[in-house]
């Protein structure tokens, strides 16, 4: 790490010139000295992040607009006062948020704690968790400038602004710059690689929300099916079906570890459990699995299908959490796409996550008075999906497999995706990687993808995100150390600790011998 001491007086707006961004007009630049910083509050651990402690940094916030577009965009950049490592790290958003919210600040803590300049942008959308405040100029009229900023334009602006501010503050440019994001942040990363290949030297893009229309229609599919069939299964029923599916497929890889690793060979019939009785841990009562629960679970796993069974998009995996958590039981808040709420009388209704439903309401129908329960048939759902793809594909789809320009500039990409992701189907990332490989058979020279058994959406589930992914990307970019594997570790429900590693797709981690110690990494190999 470079040992650089920057005088406190450098954190002064008058000494930092406005950055120049083509097509943009900088409205303001503030510089605030932050001393003895303690990391942001982490809702997952219910405590303040330990990544950044007692750190002094300069928070430079640049406010700008694109003339005639009536927006105000903020790019926030944290510059370490002492011991800058000479690198810049931009962090992504999540859900409907471009950046500058809790997940972004936790990621900035991590970056700052390791000596990076850290930067995030709100894309001009503010910090609202939903698109309601900005999606429509008026009923029927989508705010396309705001959507374009979320999709792509603000991301390129951010790279120019953060690099310019960094150079002005320290007197020289960052030697390397990186993107780091998951979900929306993963989509943003791929958009940068596809449209702005010179923005970052390395991109870490986890569980990417690419194939935007298909993804968001799939996120609404379970709720649409509940509404159309008038079947609203309880959380206990869906959780019991998921538990049974995991149990039926756990041993496919030869290891009983409470996870499904061999997802390609995992098949489970939820209708085989109809009428069976299961204990409900959340209520302490027994629950009988209904046919409606099997219908909704099967539809969510299978994914959207047209009126004649036409494939529309991928469903989530059988190991995915279909019902999520609202945090009331002390567990981390977790979005899910098949959630219901039930009153004291046992009457249940759909509880949409606000992802696909919002896209349908505000961008496809363009009507804040409309909602997904008005979809009366699979034919109508299919028609809406195809119409949305036609209208928005060029703006936000982010699934162009041609990464040749990013390869030419020497960029490197790494992504991971949980095999228990209940929001974004990992099969979509599989599909994207295969399409990139169809165009470039040597894709693994610059782009590597790792499937993570047991991992939910970015975090959560029996497993956790591979901790060395970003560091492996840095070593790949700067030292040409190819990430052949990524180390992971986890505990099963019995508390048994496992050390293992992930293999780059399409290879999988395979047990070498049935007689091996399944808890040890050396008992595994990478194989097709």
Which two structure tokens, joined as six digits, stand for 26? Answer: 């900088």
Beta carbons within 10 angstroms of residue 280's beta carbon: 16
Question: Tokens standing for 113?
Answer: 């704690």
Whole-number Å distance between alpha carbons of 6 and 84:
9
Residue 117 has a pLDDT of: 98
User: 76-101 as b/e, with b when 16 or more CB fall inside 10 Å?
Assistant: bbbbbbeebbbbbbbbbbbbbbbbbb
Phi, psi at 277, each rounded to 5°: -110, 135
Q: How far apart are CA 116 and CA 79, in angstroms?
A: 8
Annotated catalytic residue within 201, 421, 430, 444: 421
Which value, in Å, is the radius of gyration of the alpha carbons in the chain? 23
457 a catalytic residue = yes
Q: List Cβ neighbours of 358 (8 Å cut-off, separation of 6 or more).
A: 96, 130, 131, 132, 135
pLDDT given at position 3: 45
- Find the catalytic residue in 183, 261, 320, 325: 183
From 203, 208, 168, 204, select the one nearest 186 (Cα to Cα): 208
CA atoms within 13 A on the CB side of 162: 30
Distance CA(406)–CA(159), nearest Å, equals 15
Beta strands in 367-406 (DSSP E): none
Q: In this predicted structure, what is the pLDDT of residue 438?
A: 98
Question: By the 8 A CB rule, do 426 and 419 touch?
Answer: yes
Distance CA 96, CA 83 (A): 34
C-alpha of 481 from chain center: 26
DSSP 306: -
Could you give the angle at which helices 291-302 and 235-249 cross, rounded to 10 degrees?
60
Q: Is 102 helix (H, G, I), strand (E, B) or coil?
A: helix
Tell me if 420 sits within 8 A of 321, measured CB to CB.
Answer: yes
Question: Is 497 among the catalytic positions?
Answer: no
Q: Which domains does the chain have, with CATH numbers?
A: 8-211+396-485 (3.40.50.1820), 214-394 (no CATH), 496-528 (no CATH)
- Which value, to the nearest 10 degrees, does the dihedral of the CA atoms of residues 433, 439, 443, 446 take? -100
d(CA 190, CA 117): 21
Smallest CA-to-CA distance from 221 within 128, 130, 295 is with: 295
Half-sphere exposure of 160 (CA within 13 A, CB side): 15
What pLDDT was estimated at residue 2? 46
Please give the pLDDT value at position 406. 98
Angle of helix 184-195 versus helix 154-170 axis, rounded to 10: 80
Query: Residues 21, 64: contact at Cβ < 8 Å?
Result: yes
Please state the separation of Cα 236 from the chain's center in Å: 26
Structure tokens at 72: 């105000």
Alpha helices in 409-521 (DSSP H): 426-439, 469-479
Tokens 């929001």, located at residue: 423
* Cα 73–chain centre separation: 22
Q: Output the pLDDT for position 44.
A: 62
- Residue from 157, 201, 457, 523 carrying the catalytic annotation: 457
CB contact set of 103 (below 8 Å; sequence gap of 6+)? 93, 94, 185
List the one residue out of 59, 40, 51 whose CA is nearest residue 117: 59
331 three-class SS? coil
DSSP category for residue 510? E
| Alpha-carbon span 235 to 240, nearest angstrom | 8
Token output for 363: 């961008």
- Average pLDDT per consecutive 10 residues, the chain (528 residues; last block may be shorter): 60 95 96 90 64 90 95 97 95 94 90 96 92 97 97 98 97 97 97 98 98 98 98 96 97 95 96 95 87 98 97 97 75 83 91 96 98 97 98 96 98 97 97 98 98 93 86 98 96 92 97 94 96
């Amino acid at each position: 790490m470079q040992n650089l001491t920057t005088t406190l007086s450098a954190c002064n707006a008058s000494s930092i010139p406005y950055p120049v961004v083509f097509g943009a007009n900088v409205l303001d630049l503030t510089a605030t000295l932050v001393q003895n910083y303690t990391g942001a509050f982490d809702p997952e651990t219910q405590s303040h992040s330990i990544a950044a402690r007692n750190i002094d940094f300069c928070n430079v916030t640049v406010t700008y607009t694109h003339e005639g577009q009536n927006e105000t965009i903020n790019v926030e950049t944290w510059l370490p006062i002492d011991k800058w490592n000479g690198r810049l790290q931009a962090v992504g958003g999540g859900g409907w948020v471009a950046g500058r919210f809790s997940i972004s600040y936790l990621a900035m803590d991590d970056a700052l704690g390791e000596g990076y300049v850290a930067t995030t942008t709100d894309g001009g959308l503010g910090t609202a968790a939903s698109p309601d405040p900005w999606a429509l100029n008026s009923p029927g009229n989508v705010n396309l400038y705001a959507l374009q900023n979320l999709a792509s334009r603000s991301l390129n602006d951010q790279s120019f602004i953060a690099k310019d501010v960094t150079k002005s503050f320290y007197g020289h440019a960052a030697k390397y710059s990186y993107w780091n994001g998951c979900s929306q942040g993963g989509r943003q990363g791929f958009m940068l690689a596809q449209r702005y290949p010179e923005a970052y030297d390395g991109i870490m893009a986890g569980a990417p929300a690419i194939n935007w229309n298909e993804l968001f229609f799939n996120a609404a599919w379970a709720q649409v099916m509940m509404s159309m069939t008038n079947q609203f299964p309880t959380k206990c029923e869906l959780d019991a079906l998921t538990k049974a599916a995991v149990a039926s497929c756990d041993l496919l890889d030869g290891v009983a570890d409470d996870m499904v690793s061999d997802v390609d060979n995992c098949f489970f019939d939820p209708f085989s459990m109809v009428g069976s009785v299961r204990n409900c841990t959340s209520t302490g009562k027994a629950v009988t699995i209904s046919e409606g629960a099997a219908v909704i679970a099967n539809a969510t796993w299978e994914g959207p299908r047209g009126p004649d069974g036409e494939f529309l998009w991928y469903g989530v995996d059988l190991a995915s959490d279909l019902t999520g958590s609202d945090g009331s039981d002390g567990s981390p808040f977790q979005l899910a796409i098949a959630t219901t709420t039930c009153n004291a009388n046992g009457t249940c209704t759909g509880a949409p996550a606000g992802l696909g439903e919002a896209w349908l309401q505000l961008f496809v129908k363009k009507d804040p008075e409309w909602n997904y329960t008005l979809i009366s048939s699979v034919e109508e759902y299919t028609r809406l999906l195809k119409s949305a793809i036609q209208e928005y594909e060029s703006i936000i789809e982010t699934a162009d497999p041609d990464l040749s320009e990013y390869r030419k500039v020497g960029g490197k990409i790494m992504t991971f995706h949980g095999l228990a992701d209940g929001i974004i189907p990992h099969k979509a990332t599989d599909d994207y990687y295969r399409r990139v490989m169809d165009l470039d058979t040597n894709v693994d020279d610059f782009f590597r993808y790792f499937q993570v058994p047991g991992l939910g959406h970015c975090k959560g589930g029996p497993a956790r995100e591979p901790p060395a992914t970003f560091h492996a990307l840095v070593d790949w970019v700067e030292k040409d150390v190819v990430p052949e594997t990524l180390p992971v570790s986890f505990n099963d429900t019995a508390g048994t600790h496992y050390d293992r590693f992930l293999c780059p797709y399409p290879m999988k981690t395979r047990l070498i011998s049935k007689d091996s110690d399944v808890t040890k990494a050396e008992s595994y190999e990478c194989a097709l």
